[in-house]
Structure 1
């Protein structure tokens, strides 16, 4: 087995790559990274200096950054589910949605969580509110542009949906969807019903205890089968 994934089961960006791997049943060796241990962090940083997760290693090749990792898998380890279409216009749509979910949903969600991880006296209420407001604007944008197709960029599950699932899962805990976000909410339910997505949730259950907003996790994510 040539593929090794360095990851943590609680990480939203790790879910993004795991979903791509699970979609095609791509064989890989999983190695959980403990960034809290100085020696483990130093060893991991020797692979890639940013020491960010996930990191994909294929033989002697180190592949960072989730969008690039999924494209790499699609080209070098293709499976039944193509995650980037061949058509250029369709490919641009997938890349756009991938960026929307990473930059406008994942990013403000993570900035909010970063504040929660601080001692309460050191939190920045304005920064937290800005993150919540940013998520609201992102929800409005996504809902208005979603269209009637099943998945973010069309009728085929793609890289964009790999990005959407973890971003929306964690973002909806920070700021739930509003009643006006009907398309977005329906899309999220379709994502949850995808076996690759639900598998990430199930595998994260043992470590949800370390999630700072664990008290706000809906009960259906803590036990039971997929919707």
Structure 2
């Protein structure tokens, strides 16, 4: 298999976690300006120009959640990312959507605003994104109060989504100290070998973070 991705991308990290969890063999196809061939191939594979893309034989799989589920079905390993039991699977998918839509999305809204020229920045949008993160943080702190991982006691797709979203969100809009459950969960994710490896992969690219990367993590 081949993964077209960049190690600093949050959605690419989501898939890398799943691949690393099960030691699934793959070839990393770097998406960067100096990798012209990869960029041309990627443009043909991803009509919306959104990474990552997983290529398995003649099949191209897009969207990070779908890629992780694809790995579960076609390249299963010791860790299963979506349970077979229907209600448990719904819980995992629900938490996956929670992290992607209400943590990752507002985090990216704040980050992308730093890329804009000062005269077209959107302070109201940034304020709204911060408010959404506050609501998400408060809800998540309660939801995981009695859980080791996002959807229970088993590492899952939801945790693959949570790790990069909370990692970057805390950089731009810190998790309040009073939310001890969520802060502890973020620390557990950072200590997970699969995500620690993804973080180390991305470490050389921290200067790319538009708001400026903090000297931690």
| Structure 1 range deviating more: 28-37 or 184-193 | 28-37
Are residue 164 (structure 1) and residue 147 (structure 2) matched? no
Q: Which residue of 1 aligns with 2:110?
A: 112
Spell out, residue by residue over 1:19-57, the C-alpha distance to the aligned partner (whole angstroms, 9 max, x if none).
Answer: 000000000000011269888644422112111100000
Flag structure 2 segments of 5+ consecutive residues without an equivalent: none
* 8 Å contact kept, 1:94–1:158: yes
Q: Which residue of 2 aligns with 1:55?
A: 53
Taking only aligned residues, the RMSD between alpha carbons, in angstroms, comes to 1.6
Q: Which runs of 4+ in 1 moved over 3 A?
A: 35-43
Q: Which residue of 2 aligns with 1:12?
A: 10
* 8 Å contact kept, 2:4–2:38: no
* 8 Å contact kept, 1:109–1:170: yes
SS at match of 1:133: helix
Q: Which residue of 2 aligns with 1:154?
A: 152
Mapped partners of 1:42, 1:110: distance in 2: 25
Mapped partners of 1:64, 1:4: distance in 2: 12
* 8 Å contact kept, 1:5–1:30: yes
**C-alpha deviation, 1:154, in angstroms:** 0.6
* 8 Å contact kept, 2:17–2:195: yes
**C-alpha deviation, 1:180, in angstroms:** 2.3
Question: Which of 215, 218, 221 lines up with 2:215 in the alignment?
Answer: 218
Q: Which residue of 2 aligns with 1:135?
A: 133
Q: TM-score normalised to the size of structure 1?
A: 0.91
SS at match of 1:46: helix
SS at match of 1:30: strand
Task: Number of aligned residue pairs: give it.
Answer: 217
SS at match of 1:155: coil
Q: Which residue of 2 aligns with 1:225?
A: none
* 8 Å contact kept, 1:7–1:33: yes
Name the CA shift for 1:119/1:37 in 2 (closer, same or farther; >3 Å).
Answer: farther
Spell out, residue by residue over 1:129-183, the C-alpha distance to the aligned partner (whole angstroms, 9 max, x if none).
Answer: 1111111111011112113121010100000000000000000011111122111
